[in-house]
């Protein structure tokens, strides 16, 4: 195994990167600015790369530093959480990472049932578009979104979902929206990260071409759905993610749920070695049970 950098140097790096100041990082870690500078210089020498760009206006991360922080920051958080668990006598922790929208829209409303079923498991949930790095011990299970291209990992589909045009009842009524052709005259909301784009939907259900420009674009499904509820336009989103909005009457499937493209795009992903952990087994069993009800 390659030699790991000293933990003190990594802590100094993370603090300076977050505070954008050697002085503030030193105060946070109860060290002198000189000591922090020495730790950073030691780390840069070990990695043979410059992590910060210094100027008269302060300090900021270099491109390499930005990339390094993405992994180091998460790893330090995981180490800190595991240490706290041990100090508090918690021996059955589970670390789950998830794509943001499915975490907030689908997983969170159901987690109380997991807590009731497994009160002895301490669940730690994080969410980000960037997949977790299992090599760094960032998570036990990752709920990922997209096309499954994750070699060397167990990949289990959670459910099939329908991607449909959605809009608020008021928007549909205002524009007397009944025909597909009308979409070309109305604002369409673009979800940049969706596996199904407007061009796919138009190609499946019409002979029309989707517009090339959109008035608003979002990188999260939740933001697209919120925009649609506020009358900004028609969103092309998962009926699963929009389940709460549909149930509350905030959104409607413009042309019915049958006018959707069905995909499997959410997956439970984990290294095979994790499957033997009781907490992982329990969560996967519960997760698939909830997915079956969706």
pLDDT in tens, the chain (294 residues): 457 788 889 999 999 988 888 988 888 888 898 999 999 999 999 999 999 988 777 788 999 998 888 888 777 777 776 666 555 544 578 999 999 999 999 999 999 999 999 999 989 899 988 888 887 777 899 999 999 999 999 999 999 999 999 999 999 999 999 999 999 999 999 999 899 999 999 999 999 999 988 999 998 899 999 999 999 999 999 999 999 999 999 999 999 999 999 999 999 999 999 988 899 999 999 999 999 998
Enclosing domain of residue 143? 92-159+265-293
269 shares a domain with 252:
no
| Residue at 230 is within a domain | yes
**Number of domains into which the chain is organized:** 3
174 shares a domain with 191:
yes
For the chain, strand residue ranges (E) read 52-55, 58-61, 93-98, 122-127, 141-145, 154-157, 161-167, 188-191, 216-218, 234-238, 252-253, 261-263, 266-270
| Residue at 78 is within a domain | no
Contact yes or no for 75/84 (Cβ under 8 A): no
Contact yes or no for 119/90 (Cβ under 8 A): no
272 shares a domain with 147:
yes
| Residue at 125 is within a domain | yes
| Residue at 2 is within a domain | no
257 shares a domain with 177:
yes
114 shares a domain with 58:
no
11 shares a domain with 63:
yes
Q: Which residues pair with 157 in a beta bridge?
A: 267
Q: Return the sign of the alpha-carbon dihedral for residues 143, 144, 148, 151.
A: negative
Q: Identify which of 78, 95, 90, 85 has the alpha carbon closest to the alpha carbon of residue 139.
A: 95
């Amino acid at each position: 195994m390659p030699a790991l950098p000293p933990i003190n140097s990594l802590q100094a790096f993370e603090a300076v990167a977050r505070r954008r100041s050697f002085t503030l990082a030193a105060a946070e870690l109860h060290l002198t600015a000189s000591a922090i500078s020495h730790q950073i210089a030691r780390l840069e020498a070990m990695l043979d790369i410059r992590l910060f760009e210094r100027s008269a206006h302060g300090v900021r991360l270099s491109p390499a530093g930005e990339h390094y922080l993405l992994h180091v920051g998460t790893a330090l958080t995981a180490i800190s959480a595991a240490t706290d668990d041990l100090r508090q006598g918690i021996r059955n922790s589970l670390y789950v990472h998830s794509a943001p929208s499915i975490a907030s829209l689908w997983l969170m409303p159901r987690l109380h049932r997991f807590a009731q079923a497994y009160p002895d498991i301490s669940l730690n949930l994080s969410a980000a578009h960037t997949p977790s790095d299992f090599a760094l011990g960032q998570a036990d299970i990752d709920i990922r979104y997209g096309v499954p291209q994750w070699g060397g990992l167990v990949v289990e589909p959670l459910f099939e979902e329908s991607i449909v045009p959605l809009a608020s009842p008021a928007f549909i009524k205002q524009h007397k929206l009944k025909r597909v052709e009308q979409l070309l005259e109305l604002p369409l909301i673009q979800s940049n990260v969706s596996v199904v784009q407007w061009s796919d939907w138009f190609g499946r259900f019409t002979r029309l071409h989707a517009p090339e420009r959109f008035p608003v674009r979002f990188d999260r499904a939740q933001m697209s759905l919120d925009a649609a509820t506020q009358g900004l336009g028609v969103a092309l989103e998962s009926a699963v993610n929009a389940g709460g909005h549909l149930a509350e009457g905030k959104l409607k499937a413009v042309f019915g749920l049958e006018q959707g493209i069905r995909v499997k795009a959410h997956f439970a992903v984990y290294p095979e070695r994790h499957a033997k952990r009781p907490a992982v087994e329990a969560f996967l069993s519960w997760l698939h049970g909830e997915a079956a009800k969706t």
